[in-house]
Amino acid sequence: MTPSALIPRYLAVRNRTLELVDPLLDEDICVQSMPETSPVKWHLGHVTWFYENFILQHYEKSYTPFHEVFNKIFGSYNVSGQSLPDSNRGLFTRPSMKVTWKYWRDIDRRIKEVLDSSKDDEMLGMLVLLGLQHEQQHQELILTDVKHLFSQNPLNPCYKQFSLIPREESLPMEWRRFEGGIVEIGFQGPGFSYDNESPRHKVYLPKYELASRLVNNGEYLEFMEADGYKDPSLWLTEGWDWLKANKRRSPLYWRDNSKDWEEFTLGGVMPLDLDLPLVHISLYEADAFARWSGARLPTEAEWENAGSRQVVQGCLAENNRFHPCPSKKSIPVGDQEELLQIYGDAWEWTQSSYSPYPGYNPAKPNPSEPMSLVWDEAVGEYNSRSMVNQYVLRGGSCVTPVTHIRSSFRNFLPAKTSCQFSGIRLARNVEIEA
């Protein structure tokens, strides 16, 4: 696409961010509830900074920064090398929201002028697409961080009421068999992908089975009532230490009202729906539940081999529910049996450490091509520098934009993380016949 042809897409993503922020008060936007989250004001400034830092700075004639300190306030720690630590973002009472919105509008105007006046520049188009994918990531983080912030408030604020889906029992969990063998995983075809999704490569998979749907709240409650949080034999050693240190006895947003369990949602406090997919689970909890179930978590290669056979559809951010939906039929590709909720609802933990694929070669700047350094810095913000002490999640969640997810997409989080919309799909081995 030519740069000017990207303007409608650019505006659509920017307007969607504004939509997500619209229900919030200025007081909501400026607070950070824990070190792992960020204030919404920082998210707004950061996605705007991306366009200024990686596009305007290199493509705008007579470029002048909006504010010489904004690179430090809103920049990425990995890229700029001068940002303050993430945990300090809640201390930025200045700039005011008035100035932050002025920054947003000013950069928008200048980006549109650059795109409208630019000729067919492939690198510019790539940087814009990267910026849009980056902003969609932060749209998801805005919802995740607001949920944690509101959960700390005794008023139990409601971000946005969502329509209740008529209650119905979950479809039964069944097992879908995959023959394995030598398969290929990794991104292929036209369209955008991050560098960590490549290169496409072959892996060998023994026969395996995946659960037909996600684990639901009722099934996890059975694990809790069977003293799953009290049995160290079910837990990884590090996970047991985490559980004891944090006094964890239930999923992050579950609340025991002495009669029945409730769940804090972006729609406020709701009675716990036992038939909805479980969300906000750490890898430690997911692994313990899988052991208790006599199963395991899938590898990311197993997940992608199965997920690539399904159409990308499901309970994603566009339905504006921002909470999981009951399991329902999906559309498989070819003759493969369907996997319910493979996309949307909850990011699915895998047992795979986040590491480079075989043959992965991080982009290296070419001194003879100055813009290659810009691309290296922009892409390097996420991937190769993060490949340590994290695990891969797949499939997207109820707050993931549909245009942001694909079968090869690799999310990654530390094992202790539970503020993300993460859940469980079970896997198990298939005994080899003699």
Which residues neighbour 411 within 8 Å (Cβ) at sequence distance 6 or greater? 347, 392, 393, 394
326 backbone dihedrals φ, ψ, rounded to 5°: -60, 155
- pLDDT tens per residue, range 384-397: 678 889 999 999 99
287 backbone dihedrals φ, ψ, rounded to 5°: -65, -40
pLDDT score, position 378: 65
Domain ranges of the chain: 3-151, 175-354+390-429
pLDDT score, position 88: 83
283-292 and 217-225 helices cross at what angle (nearest 10)? 70
pTM: 0.93
pLDDT score, position 257: 87
CA 265/CA 65 separation, integer angstroms: 39
- pLDDT tens per residue, range 184-235: 999 998 888 998 999 999 999 999 999 999 999 999 999 999 999 999 999 9
CA 181/CA 191 separation, integer angstroms: 28
What's the CATH fold of domain 3-151? Four Helix Bundle (Hemerythrin (Met), subunit A) (1.20.120)
pLDDT score, position 371: 63
Q: Listing from the earlier edge strand, what are the strands of the sheet with 261-265?
A: 254-256, 261-265, 268-271
pLDDT score, position 420: 97
Ranges of residues in the chain with a pLDDT under 70 are 77-85, 163-169, 329-337, 363-384, 432-434
pLDDT score, position 373: 60
Q: Do 274 and 218 meet the contact criterion of CB atoms below 8 Å apart?
A: yes
What's the CATH fold of domain 175-354+390-429? paralog of FGE (formylglycine-generating enzyme) (3.90.1580)
pLDDT score, position 83: 47
pLDDT score, position 78: 52
pLDDT score, position 413: 96
Residue 335 burial (10 A CB sphere; 0-12, 13-18, 19+):
exposed
